[in-house]
Amino acid sequence: MAEKAKAQGNTLVKKLLGSNLTWSIVAFILLVIVCTIFQHDFLALSWNTTTGGLAGPLITMLQESARYLMIATGMTLVISTAGIDLSVGSVMAVSGAAAMQTLSNGVNVWVAILIALALGIVIGCINGALVSLLGLQPFITTLIMMLAGRGFAKVITSGENADASAVAGIEPLKWFANGYILGIPANFVIAVVIVALVGLLCRKTAMGMMIEAVGINQEASRMTGIKPKQILFLVYAISGFLAAIAGLFATASVMRVDVSKTGQDLEMYAILAVVIGGTSLLGGKFSLLGSSIGAVIIAMIRKTIITLGVSAEATPAFFAIVVIVICVMQAPKIHNLSADMKRKRALKAQAKAVAA
């Protein structure tokens, strides 16, 4: 009996060790430990009575992670269909620019939010239409959109960095970025709810399976009665919408948009979050939970870089190295190598047993 329980325990341990999620969480804890060593009060939480929420380094990290959660979720769905959305950073700039510019022109805050979100959906739909209807390659389509989107953001604000911090009646938008729900940052809560909704949509309906089917083999999915064009259109539209929300989160915290910096490099972060979450860049199976943890890890890595006092300029190089390492580890060659070693070890053990 005891042996059986032990064997079961072993398989559980093996399962845990084999899971991507475990390793992500281990990486997260390691980062927290490193930060705590360098900054002893890193884990400290205090109650800020003026804002009515918790305060501390971890909380600011969660606040920042909200935008990564949004773009990583959209990116997961797109990558799962064997596509890519390089335009998320620019969509963030467009939605932020639209919100800030309309606000400073005296538009009602809710209308401004709606305009920003609508623009995100429109750009997502254009991506989707080009990829699904015209059959263009996703990366070239969204690369064009990344370029044109940033140009469009500059056109919206006529090249300036629009500032709406002095406008009256912007409290609702400000609350999205800086407010608290039960002491937890509001934007993080909103982001988690949205991710959960997308997760429900994918896993409680056939949506998720259809997306994966399109990603594994588009032609085969069409033959089983799925409409790949609709699915493709939908995932790009969702990605655009979520990126627009991320753009609001990013700009509303300071109520200012920097048309050339808002959302810059964030497509890379989103791809990284997805890859950390264990979704293959070649499409197919996806894990929203994995990507979400990936997004929080991205925020944590950024926090670590700041805590360690590494210059902000080094961030892209650092992230590039992480992407390269993870992709190399996912490569079939490395997998084969570890399988080879296992086989050899088993052979050796067998030889030993025979000799004994």
Partner 1 sequence: MTTATANKVKAPKKGFKLDRQMIPTLAAVVIFILMMAMGQAMFGTYLRLGFISDLFIDHAYLIILAVAMTLPILTGGIDLSVGAIVAITAVVGMKLINAGMPAIVAMIVMLLLGAVFGLLAGALIEEFNMQPFIATLSTMFLARGIASMISTDSLTFPEGNNFDFIAEKIKLIDQPKAAHDLSINLGVIIALVVVVFGYILLHHTRTGRTIYAIGGSRSSAELMGLPVKRTQYVIYLTSATLAALASIVYMANIGSAKNTVGVGWELDAIASVVIGGTIITGGFGYVLGSVLGALVRSVLDPLATSFGVPAEWTTIVIGLMILIFVVLQRAVMAVGDKK
Residues that bind partner 1 (CB under 8 A): 84, 130, 134-137, 139-141, 143-145, 147-148, 150-152, 154-155, 158-159, 265, 268, 271, 281-282, 311, 313-321, 323-324, 327-328, 331-334
Strand partners, 54: 47
Coil, strand or helix: which one is 205? coil
By C-beta, is 63 or 101 nearer to partner 1? 101
Residue 146 CB, nearest distance to partner 1 (Å)? Answer: 8
Burial class (CB in 10 A: 0-12, 13-18, 19+), 54: middle
By C-beta, is 26 or 147 nearer to partner 1? 147
- Both tokens of 53, joined, read 């929420």
Residue 330 CB, nearest distance to partner 1 (Å)? Answer: 8
Residue 131 CB, nearest distance to partner 1 (Å)? Answer: 11
By C-beta, is 36 or 315 nearer to partner 1? 315
Coil, strand or helix: which one is 179? coil
By C-beta, is 90 or 292 nearer to partner 1? 90
Residue 155 CB, nearest distance to partner 1 (Å)? Answer: 5
By C-beta, is 5 or 317 nearer to partner 1? 317
Q: Give the Cα separation of 298 and 240 in Å (integer).
A: 20
Check if the beta carbon of residue 63 is closer than 8 Å to that of residue 253: yes
Residue type, 163: D
Residue 268 CB, nearest distance to partner 1 (Å)? Answer: 6
Coil, strand or helix: which one is 47? strand
Strands 180-181, 53-55: parallel, antiparallel or unpaired by DSSP? unpaired
